[in-house]
């Protein structure tokens, strides 16, 4: 297990991963990191600016990227840049490729969101895209994090035929700008 070199305590990779997620998806200013227009941050700068909180090295960062169960992060080919694959609330273009979705996708959420969703549809809220799952099991895992579980079944094939654009992130999350009410059911 990696250790914090400042005090020989084991590093909590989950906590470090959450900070990296916050920085790369929402608040690079949290540690003073600069991201380019595609969401890439310099790995050396990230490691240096993480130092006041976590004394991590490249091996630890690589382990976090490799073992993240949601595969949230990617390195460029040279491992000199890192970015979040999706889920941003800041304006970046992660160079998503358009993709034709399957006929049905799923969205898991908490019961507290149902009234707004049933009225206005699925909206990205504070993110750039609505996140959809290719299978119900993943939607269940995601939705359970938001309280009492509600699953929406999205008619993504019909949406696509009607001109809505979908993207598939490198970690297999389906993304679109919105899902109007007429395209889903609970």
Bridge partners of 82, per DSSP, are 41, 75
CATH topology of domain 11-84: Arc Repressor Mutant, subunit A (1.10.10)
The pLDDT assigned to 58 comes to 97
The pLDDT tens digits for 3-50 are: 444 443 457 899 999 999 999 999 999 999 999 999 999 999 999 999
Inter-residue contact 162 to 171 (CB < 8 Å): no
CATH of domain 99-185: 3.20.170.30
Q: Packing angle between helix 43-50 and helix 58-67, nearest 10 degrees?
A: 100
Kindly report, as residue ranges, where domains of CATH 3.20.170.30 are found in the chain.
99-185
Alpha carbons within 13 A on the beta-carbon side of 146: 16
Give how far the C-alpha of residue 109 lies from the chain's centroid of Cα atoms, to the nearest Å: 15
The pLDDT tens digits for 83-133 are: 999 889 999 998 898 999 999 999 999 999 999 999 999 999 988 999 999
Kindly report, as residue ranges, where domains of CATH 1.10.10.970 are found in the chain.
11-84
The pLDDT assigned to 36 comes to 97
Give backbone dihedrals phi and psi of 174, rounded to 5 degrees, phi first: -85, 135
């Amino acid at each position: 297990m990696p250790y914090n070199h400042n005090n020989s305590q084991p590093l909590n990779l989950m906590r470090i991963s959450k900070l990296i997620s916050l920085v790369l998806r929402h608040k690079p200013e949290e540690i003073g990191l600069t991201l380019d227009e595609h969401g890439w941050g310099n790995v050396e700068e990230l490691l240096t600016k993480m130092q006041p909180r976590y004394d991590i090295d490249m091996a630890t960062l690589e382990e976090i990227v490799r073992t993240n169960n949601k595969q949230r992060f990617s390195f460029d080919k040279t491992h000199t840049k890192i970015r979040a694959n999706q889920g941003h609330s800041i304006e970046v273009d992660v160079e998503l490729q358009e993709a034709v979705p399957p006929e049905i996708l799923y969205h898991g959420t908490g019961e507290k969101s149902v009234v707004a969703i049933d009225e206005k549809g699925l909206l990205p809220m504070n993110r750039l895209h609505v996140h959809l799952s290719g299978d119900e099991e993943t939607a269940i895992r995601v939705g359970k994090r938001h309280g009492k579980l509600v699953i929406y079944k999205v008619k993504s094939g019909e949406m696509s035929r009607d001109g809505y654009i979908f993207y598939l992130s490198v970690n297999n999350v389906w993304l679109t700008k919105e899902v109007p009410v007429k395209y889903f059911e609970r």
